C-alpha cells in the first residue's frame, strides 16, 4: 500500500479538528450559530461523523480504523466527563450517544463515495 505524499498534512488537519472539537466542547459558552431543540445532539453527531470519516481516509486498514473508532468513542465519553467536572457545562449521556452514533455514521460513510474525498482531491490536484 502506498502512502499519500500529503498523508502528514491530512493527518495534521484531522488533529487540528480534534483540538477544535475539544476546545468548543470544553469552553464555557460555545458559539450557537443556529438554535432549535436538539441542535446540540445534531452538532455532536455531525462533528464525530466528520472526524471518523476524515480519519478513515487517512488510515485505510481495518485495524487502524478500529483504533480510530475506539479512540473517538473514548474522546466523546471523556469530554462529557470533563464537562460534568467543570461546573459550567453539563454531563449528558445523550451527548455520549450522539458522539458514538456520529463515529458509527462516519465509519459507514467511509465505505461510500464520501470515503474517497481526500483521494479525489489529490488526484484532481495532481499531488
**pLDDT for 40 beyond 80:** yes
**pLDDT for 2 beyond 60:** no
Task: Say what the pLDDT of residue 49 is.
Answer: 98
Burial class (CB in 10 A: 0-12, 13-18, 19+), 17: middle
* Banded pLDDT at 36 (limits 50, 70, 90): confident
Query: pLDDT tens digits, residue range 68-88?
Result: 999 999 999 999 999 999 888
- The domain ranges of the chain are 38-125
Amino acid at each position: 500500500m502506498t502512502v499519500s505524499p500529503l498523508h502528514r498534512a491530512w493527518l495534521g488537519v484531522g488533529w487540528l479538528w480534534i483540538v477544535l472539537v475539544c476546545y468548543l466542547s470544553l469552553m464555557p459558552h460555545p458559539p450557537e450559530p443556529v438554535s432549535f431543540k436538539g441542535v446540540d445532539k445534531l452538532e455532536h453527531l455531525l462533528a464525530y461523523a466528520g472526524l471518523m470519516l476524515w480519519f478513515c481516509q487517512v488510515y485505510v486498514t481495518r485495524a487502524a480504523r478500529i483504533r480510530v473508532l475506539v479512540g473517538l468513542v473514548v474522546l466523546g465519553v471523556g469530554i462529557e466527563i470533563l464537562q460534568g467536572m467543570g461546573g459550567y457545562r453539563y454531563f449528558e449521556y445523550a451527548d455520549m450517544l450522539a458522539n458514538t452514533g456520529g463515529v458509527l455514521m462516519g465509519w459507514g460513510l467511509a465505505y461510500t463515495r464520501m470515503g474517497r474525498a481526500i483521494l479525489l482531491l489529490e488526484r484532481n490536484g495532481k499531488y
